[in-house]
């Protein structure tokens, strides 16, 4: 992996040049939050890394995908309509989330709708991660830094960036403005990088013990926390919509009035919704909210996907979004509390 140096004043110039590859997207402030938007004027966007309301997945795994349109027995694929994009300012936690999504949609069974958007999106990461002291868990999840999954990664060292080139596409982007980059990395640069990284890890961040939490989730299926949280849950699905790794979806056919033509679309769904686990015949495998919440936190804090690792990337969006304070942080603290010992002891006595 190559590392280059770029003066910070050249960033707008480079981002403008990157439009030669495709649409430029970046964080734009809307009220009290930031959102990813298509950028026409560089001055509209934040050049500092920001945690957006919805993660990067909204562009690569959008809330609604038109799969194809059909007429009689014929159908027409619509994937050629997917634009090329350059997304700047992606924090490390979102890139970690994208790597988990890659495992789900690219590893064993290649999902063409995800794959084409992934291939046509250039990821420009930015550090250091903007830590939200009340909600961030990135240090506990090991997602405060990233080594892969990006095309370029801009590390802010004051008046300049160290730019990590993570792919051949990243190298192509560098070639759009080669004169503003150089590979003269000095010892002073390296010393500044180490200093900044060390000072960042000392920033306040919520810490939970991920050495024990996965086992607690495994052993605490009858812990009272699930019923307690289930009673509070509004079943709104907000936690799943803002989560970088949630990927449940449903598919609908929409016939037009003549009934011979129509379209098939895919929408975000949520395993926390009552109807998600209903099967043919009307049986619901997870009828209670407590059961559905327990499944969700099993995925986030114990095991998820082909790699069988926790799917929480510590972004803290669920902490800030849930209106009744059900989130990774509150559930983890509850499992780590005194009542956990009682729950584990009761379970251990069962034959």
Same domain for 246 and 192?
no
Mean pLDDT over 245-250 rounds to: 95
Rg over alpha carbons for the chain, rounded to the nearest Å, is: 22
Whether residue 301 sits in one domain with residue 176: no
Q: Are residues 243 and 146 in the same domain?
A: no
330 and 237, same structural domain? yes
Same domain, yes or no: 171 and 109: yes
Q: Max CA-CA distance within the chain?
A: 71
Please tell me whether residues 154 and 219 are part of one structural domain. Answer: no
pLDDT band at 72 (very low <50, low <70, confident <90, very high): confident
Confidence band, pLDDT 50/70/90 cuts, at residue 203: low
Q: Which of these three, 149, 178, 200, is where a domain ends?
A: 200
Task: Please say if the pLDDT value at position 204 is more than 70.
Answer: no
Q: Is the peptide bond before 128 cis (omega within 30 degrees of 0)?
A: yes
* Structural domain total, the chain: 2
Q: Within this chain, do residues 196 and 252 fall inside the same structural domain, yes or no? A: no
Residue 343 has what pLDDT? 41
HEC readout, 213-268: HHHHHHHCCCCCHHHHHHHHCCCCCHHHHHCCCCCCEEEEEEECCCCCEEEEEEEE
Q: Which of 200, 232, 259 is the last residue of a domain?
A: 200
- Are 125 and 240 in a shared domain? no
Q: Report pLDDT for 128.
A: 62
Segment among 59-63, 220-224, 297-301 with least mean pLDDT = 220-224
Where in the sequence is the domain holding 140, given as residue range(s)?
2-200
What pLDDT score was predicted for residue 305?
Answer: 72
Residues 310 and 194 in one domain: no
Asked if residue 63 and residue 29 are part of one domain, the reply reads yes
Q: Specify if 208 maps to a domain.
A: no
* 194: enclosing H helix or E strand: helix 187-200
pLDDT at 345 over 90: no
Is 117 or 350 the better-scoring residue by pLDDT? 117
Residue 118 lies in a domain: yes
What average pLDDT is seen over the chain? Answer: 89
73-80 LR contacts (CB < 8 Å, sep 24+): 79/112, 79/113, 79/116
Taking the C-alpha atoms of residue 166 and residue 185, their distance in angstroms, rounded to an integer, is: 17
- pLDDT score recorded for residue 106: 94
> For residue 40, which of 56, 25, 60 has the smallest C-alpha distance?
25
Least confident of 230-244, 280-294, 329-343: 329-343
In a domain, 206, yes or no: no
Domain assignment of residue 205, yes or no: no
When pLDDT is averaged across residues 92-100 and rounded to a whole number, the result is: 94
Mean pLDDT of 19-41: 96
User: Residue 149 to residues 109, 124, 251, 325, 339: CA-CA distances in angstroms?
Assistant: 19, 10, 28, 31, 40
Which of 72-81, 139-148, 171-180 shows the lowest per-residue confidence on average (mean pLDDT)?
72-81
pLDDT above 90 for 22: yes
Q: Give the pLDDT band (50/70/90) at residue 179.
A: very high
In a domain, 261, yes or no: yes
Residue 238 in domain: yes
Q: Are residues 339 and 312 in the same domain?
A: yes
User: Does the residue 108 lie in any domain?
Assistant: yes
Residues 275 and 166 in one domain: no
């Amino acid at each position: 992996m190559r590392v280059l140096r770029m003066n910070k004043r050249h960033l707008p110039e480079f981002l403008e040049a990157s439009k030669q590859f495709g649409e430029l997207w970046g964080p734009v402030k809307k009220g009290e939050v930031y959102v990813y938007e298509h950028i026409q004027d560089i001055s509209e966007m934040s050049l500092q890394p920001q945690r957006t309301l919805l993660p990067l997945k909204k562009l690569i795994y959008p809330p609604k995908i038109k799969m194809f349109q059909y007429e009689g027995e014929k159908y027409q694929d619509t994937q050629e309509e997917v634009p090329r994009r350059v997304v700047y300012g992606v924090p490390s936690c979102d890139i970690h989330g994208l790597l988990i999504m890659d495992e789900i949609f690219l590893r064993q069974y290649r999902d063409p709708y995800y794959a084409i958007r992934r291939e046509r999106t250039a990821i420009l990461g930015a550090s250091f991660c903007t830590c939200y002291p009340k909600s961030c868990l990135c240090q506990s999840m090991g997602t405060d830094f990233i080594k892969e999954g990006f095309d370029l990664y801009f590390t802010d060292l004051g008046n300049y960036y160290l730019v990590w080139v993570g792919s051949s596409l990243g190298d192509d982007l560098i070639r759009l403005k080669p004169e503003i980059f150089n590979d003269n990395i000095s010892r002073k640069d390296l010393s500044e990088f180490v200093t900044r990284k060390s000072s960042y890890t000392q920033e306040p961040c919520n810490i939970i013990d991920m050495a024990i939490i996965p086992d607690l989730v495994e052993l605490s299926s009858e812990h009272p926390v699930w019923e307690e949280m289930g009673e509070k849950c509004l079943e709104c699905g907000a936690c799943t919509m803002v989560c970088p790794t949630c990927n449940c979806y449903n598919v609908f056919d929409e016939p037009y009035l003549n009934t011979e033509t129509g379209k098939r679309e895919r929408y975000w769904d949520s395993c926390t919704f009552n109807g998600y686990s209903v099967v043919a015949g009307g049986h619901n495998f997870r009828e209670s909210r407590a059961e559905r919440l327990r499944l969700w936190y099993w995925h986030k804090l114990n095991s998820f996907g082909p790699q069988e690792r926790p799917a929480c990337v510590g972004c803290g969006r669920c902490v800030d979004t849930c209106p009744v304070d059900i989130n990774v942080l509150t559930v983890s603290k509850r499992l780590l509390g005194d009542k956990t010992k009682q729950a584990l002891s009761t379970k251990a006595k069962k034959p």
